[in-house]
Chain A
């Protein structure tokens, strides 16, 4: 038989991805604009090591200084 009908509720991945993106934004590690792409990548599981590296590098250049 087929699968259960699709549930319109957000998946756990979606919920957690949004939470993480918010936390990272609040920590000023990424900008609001990049946080959206970060959230989508997290939820879909498509973020690679290179993506993370680029994100961290861009964060450095965005801020212009190392505030960590």
Chain B
């Protein structure tokens, strides 16, 4: 694996008051070591800025606006620039307002950055918050939205089917009721209902109309007869009035001569004549002389005495007119009655109703009423008509009953047709809806199954990875078995459980130590980053490991190099981590060690390449005049570090020291003679091809003897001030360094820079397996002393 990150140049950004330029080597891991306040976070923030357009630690803080505090102290925001070279591409980020403006190719590096503060958030966060971190891999909101629509469609189809089925049942029940009411005719309900449905109700309707027409004819004739009878009474009454008034007039006339009607008329004419001819002096009739004035007074007196006769005469005149009118009306009504009777006769005669046909009307008697003609208005005809009406009227009750029966039959028929049609229609609908519902259910089943499988697979993939990584860190500690499960009762909620001692499925937050939770958070983050990784992903771990014992640091290093397949940039202030590499306890050849120096505003962030202890010794050896104490001391430290590792591998017997401090002599004495004789290193040249290159075997016995021979020189010159050391020559001091370097060159892998310390069953190897250390155990050692 290569490191695509080639160079990072930072100017005017956070702690970078001066230009910081870091060139990266082609090694998969970069470790930037620096004590607190040397600029580690500035470097990580710069990567975050150019890759993710995030403001690092300032992101989202109200109290420290990005545009004010992202630029370095004393720098303008316009001077801020972060340049990152990634493979063959260059990306430049500047600050535009409060936002990053990045210029470069579209495919920007995907920096996955884990900061110290985030670790516990991953593990200890609320399940909903934790879900957010996983949601990119397990959340499928769009599919879930479509699935919800499908569920609605399925529910609606089922509901529609239930309604249609209910409608079928209701219609069938109603048909059954009607069938029972109809007396359950043979052969069965279905046949009966179909037959009824096929029946045309027009005939029945026509029967009702016919009955209504007959009843109407009877009613019409009856009404006409009633009117006729009233008119007869009226005419009779009017005739009686005329007769009575005639008698009255005769009586009035008898009571006064003047009252005779013709005399009164004569007096009227005389009065009018005398009034007009005011000069008349004689009667125009008898030609006798008259006294005109006296005569007029006399005429008036005579007329007054005949007024009763006049009134009686007037009333009689009026009565005669009324009587004449009544007679006319009576004649008309008699004609109408005869016409109504003729219609009645024709209606009843032509009726096909059984009850009419079987009736006892002697139609011969009423022949004059049949056909188009109306009988003449004679008392005989009128009497015959009244008789006809009386006979027809006897059918009224039967006709009304018949009409009610037929009407009910029509009503029943309509109800049967309605229910029969509804049953057929609903049954068809139900069948279609059932088919639709089954298809929708099948679709929903697939969508649900695939969605659950997708989420389960995604979580399981992450879980397995987390578990793998975590198990590498905590071997034999009775913790792990990480489980990630969506809360079935809460949407967007993710639970983490694990094993603690014999208890399974317990929340790690409840039982794990802070260090164990830290490593769990880191493993989850790495697993998520890998899940989301692409060709241009960079994993950045910003000061995530603050304190850990030697075993855990060693495992963490092994995990990073053996398991993580992404290029990694690590920042740390934890010196033991860095020194593991410096003393070849990790594959230092695969790590670029960068060391940050102390920061000041004027000098900004400064860095240097971390020198390995063995390289420091080589440099010391090259200096003239020789630094005797430096060479001897450095050799001793290197030897103690290497031999301590060897003694640990073979579980060599050493003097018990409560603080675990041992001298070079202790380590050398602990190496059993049988072991020394058997110890050898085998280097396999890495050719890059499938077949390994030639092996180089180096026996360690002689090298250890050489070390043992020079131990006194190291003690006299390199440990304390000792006058005896002055007697030793520079050459003798150099021999210490040469022997040390010879042993280390034989032990440490030339490919990865790591001591062979991994148990391979028959020997130990380094991380890249190019270097082997034999044997695996001390020859002839007791079982208790064997193991790694």
Contacts and interface: CB of A to CB of B under 8 A. Distances in A.
B15 to A, nearest CB: 19
Nearest to A22: B450
Given A1-B99, A4-B53, A19-B454, A43 B439 contact: no
Given A24-B446, A46-B146, A12 B436 contact: no
B107 A8 contact: yes
A45 interface: yes
Given A5-B52, A45-B143, 4 more contacts: A2-B99, A27-B442, A52-B440, A60-B436
B458 A12 contact: yes
A50 B152 CA distance: 9
Contacts of A4: 52-54
Interface in A1-34: 1-5, 7-9, 12-13, 15-17, 19-20, 23-24, 27, 29
A17 B143 contact: yes
A47 B143 CA distance: 9
Contact of B436 (A1, A43, A45, A57): A57
Q: How large is the interface on B (under 10, 10 to 19, 20 to 34, 35 or more residues)?
A: 35 or more
A42 B458 CA distance: 19
A14 B150 CA distance: 18
A3 B136 CA distance: 15
B307 interface: no
Contacts of B108: 5
Nearest to B439: A56
B534 A52 contact: no
Contacts of A41: 146
B447 A20 contact: yes
B98 A20 contact: no
Nearest to A5: B108
A2 B99 CA distance: 6
Binding site secondary structure of chain A: helix
Contacts of A7: 110, 532, 534
Contacts of B144: 45
Given A51-B149, A57-B436, A5 B143 contact: no
B281 to A, nearest CB: 122
B66 A52 contact: no
Nearest to B101: A2
A13 B153 contact: no
Contact of A15 (B66, B139, B454): B454
Interface in A51-68: 51-53, 55-57, 59-60, 66, 68
Contacts of A57: 436
Contacts of B440: 52-53, 56
19 contacts: A1-B99, A7-B110, A7-B534, A8-B534, A9-B532, A9-B534, A12-B138, A12-B454, A16-B143, A23-B450, A45-B141, A48-B149, A49-B152, A49-B153, A53-B153, A53-B157, A56-B436, A57-B436, A60-B439
B451 interface: yes
